[in-house]
Chains A and B, each alone.
Chain A
Amino acid sequence: MATTRDGAPPGWVRLCRSDEIGEAQSRGFDPGDEGQDRLFVVRWQGQLHAWRNACPHVQGAPMAWRRDAYLNAAGTRIVCHAHGAEFMPDSGLCVQGPCRGERLSPIALVVDADGELFVKS
């Protein structure tokens, strides 16, 4: 992907360096400066995954309980801290709670040769 550290190709938005998100960690982003994180990124078994910050159990419900806190303490599940729904970090599948069987909405992401993380805007 042709880009520079400071810029993003059309249709993509830079979030951060990919190595700023460690294993079993999550981080929220508000690329449109909407006042609330629109998406979050988790690293699970080495791979990064980006999800919309919107729990399927209530339309648009934000999920973290504190800034960047989207996971359980063990870092093994994404948790919606509105009503306790739990999701697999890699597939976004809800495995426990009010929307079991439903999925989080994925957002395409890419890491460039310099290690910069971008998502589809």
Chain B
Amino acid sequence: MKIVGLESLVFGVDDIGGAARFLVDYGLTPVELSDRGGRFEAMDGTAVVIARQDDPALPPGPVPGCRLRKTVMGVADEATLGAIAAELRRDREVRRLPDGSIESIDDAGFVLGFQLTARRPFVLAGEISNAPGGVVFRPVNSLGVPPPGSVIRPRSLSHVVYFVPDVVKAEAFYVNRLGFRCTDRFTGTGPFLQPGGSLDHHTHFLIGAPPHMHGVEHFTFHFGGPSEMITNGYRFVEKGYQAFWGPGRHILGSNWFWYFNSPFGCHIEMDADMDQHDASWRPREATASADNSQTFLLKMRKKWYPGPGIPENGDYA
């Protein structure tokens, strides 16, 4: 099944204005914005959609309190859409919506949508590192650090992470019914999952958790590279948003990360430079400790050489 990845995530919120400002400050572009909600797109058109939490058009979340109301995946062709519908109709309702998409539910209670992907292809070089002996270099006189005031935009909706009460059952649904592959696994926690039409290390990660945790841990968009992503993160912090973890780089998937609190009842991440794998990749397995999750974690310092403003005993405490 050629599922190419996430197309959009739909949230029900209690403050449309606050959530909209948050997403714009994150870097997404608002379209169709009103006091009832809106759609906020990355460069390729993948998006976060928000609506009022009491909007009757929203499907229910998996549990009360979970603000994610629908996860929409893109597929490459009508054949895949038909194959998904036929497969899921074996044991559950599949609705065909007026826009041509289909809607059903996974085995953990998350409402799913599937549509022909509307991703807009674009070509824009990602971050390039200059290295002695390298093959690809940045153009001479171009700068590695995004200059102040430069526009930084998320490129594409990357992945979503679910807390699920039965991770074995949840994984089986995505692998056996929708053709996802496990790329790597945290022992006793859950799998990183890749759909058949993507090379990304993961578009889904499942975390086995007690029923009262059922919901979303985080979601994230890909940025053009670590320098761009971390610059965007610092701008986000300066606007008053609350960082949780990062900036750093994961081990499984190699993606650079920076996590923030959000008005969606879960974390939001900024990520960059995730590994790509094909079917020849052999999944690794590791315990989900902090040491196995961050290969390094960066810290800003305000002063880096002695001079005016440095306390008598230095700035190294």
Contacts and interface: CB of A to CB of B under 8 A. Distances in A.
A106 interface: no
A84 B265 contact: yes
A61 interface: yes
B65 A73 contact: no
Contact of B213 (A66, A79, A81, A83): A83
Given A82-B261, A82-B267, A83-B266, A65 B241 contact: yes
Nearest to A100: B212
A79 B14 CA distance: 12
Contacts of A69: 18, 263
Query: Chain B contact residues: over half helix, strand or loop, or mixed?
Result: loop
Nearest to A67: B240
Interface in B218-257: 239-242, 244
B198 interface: no
Contacts, number: 62
Interface string A76-113: 00011111101000000000111010000000000000
Interface in B53-93: 64-67
A26 B215 CA distance: 26
A69 B213 CA distance: 22
A57 to B, nearest CB: 8
B262 interface: yes
A62 B18 contact: no
Contacts of B166: none
Contact of B263 (A65, A74, A86, A98): A65
Interface residue range, chain B:
20 to 34
B106 interface: no
Contacts of A81: 242, 261-263, 265
A42 interface: no
A84 B261 contact: no
Nearest to A80: B261
Interface string B124-149: 00000000000000000000000000
B134 to A, nearest CB: 37
A72 interface: yes
Contact of B14 (A62, A72, A83, A96): A72
A69 B263 CA distance: 9
A117 interface: no
A24 interface: no
Quick one: which of B215, B239, B265 has the most chain A CB within 10 A? Answer: B265
Contacts of A96: 64-65
Quick one: which of B67, B212, B241 has the most chain A CB within 10 A? Answer: B212
B125 to A, nearest CB: 33
Contacts of B67: 84
A29 B240 CA distance: 13
Contact of B217 (A62, A67, A80, A83): A83
Contacts of B262: 65, 81
A48 interface: no
Nearest to A37: B242
Quick one: which of A67, A73, A82, A97 has the most chain B CB within 10 A? Answer: A82
Nearest to A64: B242
A63 interface: yes
Contact of B244 (A62, A72, A73, A100): A62
A97 B18 contact: no
**A-B residue pairs, 8 tightest by C-beta:** A84-B265, A67-B240, A81-B261, A73-B14, A73-B15, A65-B261, A98-B213, A66-B240
Interface of A: 61-67, 69, 72-74, 79-84, 86, 96-98, 100
Given A62-B242, A66-B22, A73-B14, 20 more contacts: A63-B242, A63-B261, A64-B242, A65-B261, A65-B263, A66-B241, A67-B242, A69-B263, A73-B18, A79-B265, A81-B242, A81-B265, A82-B261, A83-B213, A84-B215, A84-B265, A96-B65, A97-B212, A98-B212, A100-B212
16 contacts: A62-B242, A62-B244, A63-B261, A64-B242, A65-B260, A65-B261, A69-B18, A69-B263, A74-B14, A80-B261, A81-B263, A82-B244, A83-B215, A83-B217, A84-B67, A96-B64
